């Protein structure tokens, strides 16, 4: 095993939901996030918390909570594997038919799991159900309604896919509840900026993405926790804690991610053609970034 972990008993019954919480240097916020999850009205879940080699008191807090609640599986990565790597790590430990990612900075209303699972169980064509979002930066009672959460319920997979690519801004929908079998068909969240949006696009090819019309997800928005507000340098460290070749060619990796989503989804010919057409146009629009990647790679080789 590549990480220290509290075991999940092999004889333990399969939970209804697996919740995965990646965490890094979150000692100021993680207690509130954990308390909100442990107070869910749907209590039949496991909570997989992965500490990404934090340098503050995060791991001690996780251990404290795991000691008093058997639903918590505590994992400590021996080294920082990047934010996206840690998101993928918690899913790989999941055992339930439904899965939810939960940030160590955000807050979930008590009925979030219950309402989202209800929506999924009502309609087998839905692979993800997410509530509406409220944004906050101090305490959760100081929030603003977020007006750009969307459902992607079109009948044709290509229409959903293109809509995700065009419309998704803050990726709040990632914090909904997802069918585990659908998520297992994707590449999860790969190691480049924007991989989380591509994941949602891939899921949209596999099924409908529904919205629960209640504001049950509270997202913290400050420079320490929200990637949208980080400096370019901080964002790079967030994804690549160690400067290696893995950081090269991010724009090319994004293009490859979109293409993989299309080709691996086994779409009808008409949907595959429509999705591929948008993907290739998107690659064309990305030409400046693709060119910068080549220059950055050349500079990396020279520095080596």
Is pLDDT above 70 for 3? no
SS3 49: strand
CA distance 261 to 241: 27
Query: Phi then psi for 63, rounded to 5 degrees?
Result: -60, -40
Task: Give me the helix-helix angle, 232-239 and 83-92, nearest 10°.
Answer: 30
Pairing label, strands 208-220, 126-136 = parallel
Is pLDDT above 60 for 104? yes
SS3 237: helix
At 101 the pLDDT is 98
CA distance 234 to 28: 19
Domain ranges of the chain: 1-105, 106-304
Query: pLDDT tens-digit profile of 38-79?
Result: 999 999 999 999 999 999 999 999 999 999 999 999 999 999
Half-sphere exposure of 228 (CA within 13 A, CB side): 10
Mean pLDDT of the chain: 91
At 303 the pLDDT is 73
Query: pLDDT tens-digit profile of 156-166?
Result: 999 999 999 99
Pair 128, 177: CB distance under 8 Å: yes
CA distance 199 to 161: 10
Pseudo-torsion of CA 127, 131, 133, 137, nearest 10°?
Answer: -90
Look at the domain 1-105 and name its fold: Spore Coat Polysaccharide Biosynthesis Protein SpsA; Chain A (3.90.550)
Query: pLDDT tens-digit profile of 126-185?
Result: 999 999 999 999 888 899 999 999 999 999 999 999 999 999 999 999 999 999 999 999
Query: pLDDT tens-digit profile of 225-270?
Result: 655 554 555 545 545 555 666 788 999 999 999 999 999 999 999 9
CA distance 11 to 9: 5
At 1 the pLDDT is 38
Query: Phi then psi for 299, rounded to 5 degrees?
Result: -65, -35
For residue 154, the Cα-to-chain-centroid distance in whole angstroms is 22
């Amino acid at each position: 095993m590549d990480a220290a972990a509290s075991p999940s008993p092999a004889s333990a019954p399969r939970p209804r939901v697996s919740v995965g919480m990646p965490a890094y240097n979150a000692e100021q916020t993680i207690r509130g996030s954990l308390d909100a999850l442990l107070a869910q009205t749907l209590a039949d879940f496991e909570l997989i918390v992965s500490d990404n080699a934090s340098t503050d008191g995060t791991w001690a807090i996780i251990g404290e909570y795991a000691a008093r609640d058997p639903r918590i599986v505590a994992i400590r990565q021996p080294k920082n594997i990047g934010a996206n790597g840690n998101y993928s790590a918690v899913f790989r430990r999941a055992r339930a038919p439904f899965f939810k990612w939960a940030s160590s900075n955000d807050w979930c209303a008590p009925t979030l799991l219950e309402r989202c699972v209800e929506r999924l169980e009502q309609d087998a064509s839905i692979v993800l159900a997410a509530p509406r979002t409220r944004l906050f930066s101090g305490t959760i009672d100081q929030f603003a309604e977020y007006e750009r959460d969307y459902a992607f319920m079109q009948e044709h997979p290509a229409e959903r896919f293109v809509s995700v690519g065009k419309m998704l801004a803050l990726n709040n929908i990632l914090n909904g509840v997802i069918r585990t079998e659908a998520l297992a068909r994707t590449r999860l969240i790969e190691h480049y900026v924007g991989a989380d949006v591509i994941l949602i696009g891939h899921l949209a090819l596999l099924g409908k993405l529904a919205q629960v019309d209640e504001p049950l997800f509270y997202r913290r928005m400050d420079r320490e926790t929200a990637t949208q507000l980080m400096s370019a340098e901080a964002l790079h460290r967030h994804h690549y804690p160690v400067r290696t070749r893995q950081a090269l060619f991010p724009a090319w990796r994004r293009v490859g991610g979109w293409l993989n989503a299309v080709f691996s989804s086994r779409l009808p010919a008409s949907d595959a053609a429509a999705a591929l057409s948008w993907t290739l146009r998107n690659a064309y629009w990305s030409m400046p970034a693709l060119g910068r990647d080549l220059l950055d790679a050349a500079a990396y080789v020279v520095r080596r």
